[in-house]
Amino acid sequence: MSETRNIDLNSLYSVLVREIENDQVQEIDPSFYRSLSEYLGRLKSESYDGIESKIKNRLVELITQIATLLLKTRIDKVVSQEGPELTNLLDEEKFVLESQQELLERKEMILSATLNGRTKLLESVAKKHKTKPITVRFLKDFDQFVGADYTKYGPFKAEDIATLPNENAQALIAKNITVKIHLEE
């Protein structure tokens, strides 16, 4: 579990190879992603000229590819198992898997409500989805409008941030008028 103490391309590659060569999720340092993030942050903040800059950029690219493949491999292993073993998963990976469990639960709820004639539940879910608040940043000025929740919004100027009903936010995002932003929890 000393992989993150001396992070470099070779150690990351070794972690990836060990993960790919085994059917079960392998044990890695609990602070792996945080340490990797710190390493990449330091590397990206360093400035070089000429060939050294190209080497640094290529190193960042390779590390990014390894980290992406490692996370995908570890998650895919758990998802493909019938009775998944979560012991060696890191907290960040468990966070990803929670959303997958929620997806399955939502799918089952909609299917069950549809097949059992629970129209009111379906209407409630649809309304909640339409009006769920989404935070966006405006890229352009935009006039006042009435949202899916029948509330007036705007007018907005470029760079304004607003919380809008999902239906309206998605329409504005699709038209490149806004972008979704994620507020830190």
CATH no. for residue 145? 3.40.5.50
What's the confidence (pLDDT) of residue 66? Answer: 96
- Amino acid code (one letter) for 140: K
- Residue 18 resides in a domain: yes
What's the confidence (pLDDT) of residue 87? Answer: 86
- Residue 70 resides in a domain: yes
- Residue 111 resides in a domain: no
Choose one of 84, 117, 141: the last residue of a domain: 84
Question: Chain centroid to CA 48: how far?
Answer: 31
Specify the pTM: 0.67
Instruction: Report whether 143 contacts 180 (CB < 8 A).
Output: no
d(CA 179, CA 96): 23
Domain that holds residue 54: 9-84
Closest of 48, 41, 82 to residue 64, by C-alpha: 41
- Residue 118 resides in a domain: no
- Residue 101 resides in a domain: no
Do 16 and 75 share a domain, yes or no?
yes
Structural domain count of the chain? 2
Instruction: Report whether 15 contacts 7 (CB < 8 A).
Output: no
- Residue 60 resides in a domain: yes
Do 139 and 78 share a domain, yes or no?
no
- Residue 170 resides in a domain: yes
- Residue 58 resides in a domain: yes
d(CA 7, CA 62): 13
Do 80 and 135 share a domain, yes or no?
no
Choose one of 24, 59, 84: the last residue of a domain: 84
- The tokens describing 15, both together, are 């972690």
Query: What H or E segment, with its residue span, contains residue 111?
Result: helix 91-115
What's the confidence (pLDDT) of residue 2? Answer: 37
Rounded mean pLDDT for each run of 10 residues along the chain, 185 residues in total? 64 95 93 93 93 94 96 92 80 90 91 93 91 95 95 96 96 96 72
Q: Which long-range contacts (CB under 8 A, 24 or more apart) does 130-134 make?
A: 130/165, 130/166, 130/167, 131/165, 131/166, 131/167, 132/165, 132/166, 133/163, 133/164, 133/165, 133/166, 134/163, 134/164, 134/165, 134/166, 134/169, 134/170, 134/180
Choose one of 64, 84, 104: the last residue of a domain: 84
d(CA 134, CA 18): 40
d(CA 182, CA 38): 21
What's the confidence (pLDDT) of residue 81? Answer: 80
